[in-house]
Amino acid sequence: MSADPVCAPAYQQLMNEEALRQWILRRLGGLVQKVELCEEHVDDAIEQARRWFAAKKGVKKIFAIAGLPNVVEYTLDCEIDVVLEVAFAESKNDLSLVYSPFTLPDEAIPYSVFATGGVSGGIYSDYVQTLQYVEMAKRILSADLDWRQEGRKLMISPPPSVSKAILLEAKVHTVQIEMLSERDHDLLKRYALACAREDLSWIRGKFDSYPGAQGTVQLDAAVLLQNAQDAKEKLEEEIAGSAGPMGFVSG
């Protein structure tokens, strides 16, 4: 029996930046008591949390580069923070290294170079052995491309002889709050709240109290600061215990 769509719980979307801003103010007592923070303070807290998450964990994204013959230096997309892995596209049937590496026209290997079906093992056995030899030849002759990141540049070596697609798996600077997983979203919003509490504690810490209609009102700067520091310490442990860069976005 199919579930009744009317009775099914509605999908609760994750907070975007504006919703997170209002959530932080409510957690600090907004609408009930005065919160001595301006809009820019809350924006700063969210940006701090975003940068903290990007640096400590981050989001992975796939980028494609059109590799060109004899080009070994490529400028990285400005969105990339750290390149995690690089994959070079190549034909699985490239056997040129077995015979005369990098010299055969179009890297084309004629069918006649394989043993005939009358030989023990047949053409498929020869083909498998040939592929194994290709991999060994590539390692010996350094034909397998290697890579490294130098600042905003991707360096590959040795210089490729032909055009080939390059795929990058990278950790990016940008963090779209509402696109995070539930756990990562929770980490980021709690860190933003801790940052806002810290700012509020410094503002309230300028005075111990202020006069009110019912007498002197004691301020809670010390409590706010301690709560913020405890929350940040716990969040550092949580994010360190979570997996590496999470979530994929395509681009």
Query: What's this model's pTM, rounded to 2 decimal places?
Result: 0.66
Say if residues 154 and 80 touch (Cβ distance below 8 Å): no
Q: Of 20-34, 37-51, 178-192, 199-213, give the lowest mean pLDDT range.
A: 199-213
- Position 30 scores a pLDDT of 85
Non-local (6+) Cβ contacts of 186 within 8 A are: none
Judge whether 122 and 164 are in contact, CB under 8 Å: no
**130 or 59: which carries more pLDDT confidence?**
59
pLDDT digit string, tens, across residues 159-185: 888 888 999 999 998 899 999 999 999
Q: What is the phi-psi region of residue 63: left when phi exceeds 0, alpha when psi lies from -120 to 50, beta otherwise?
A: beta
Q: Residue 36 and residue 108: Cα distance in Å, rounded? A: 73
Higher pLDDT, 243 or 64: 64
Instruction: Report pLDDT for 221.
Output: 84
Specify the DSSP class assigned to residue 250.
Answer: E
Per-residue confidence (pLDDT) for residue 167, from 0 to 100: 92
Q: How far apart are CA 220 and CA 206, in angstroms?
A: 11
pLDDT digit string (tens) for 76-102?
Answer: 999 999 999 999 886 554 544 444 444
* Average pLDDT of every residue of the chain: 78
Strand-pair category, 153-157 with 164-172: unpaired
- The per-residue pLDDT for 65 is 92
Residue type, 84: L
- Token pair for 24: 């932080």
Could you give the CA distance from residue 194 to residue 155 in angstroms, rounded to a whole number? 40
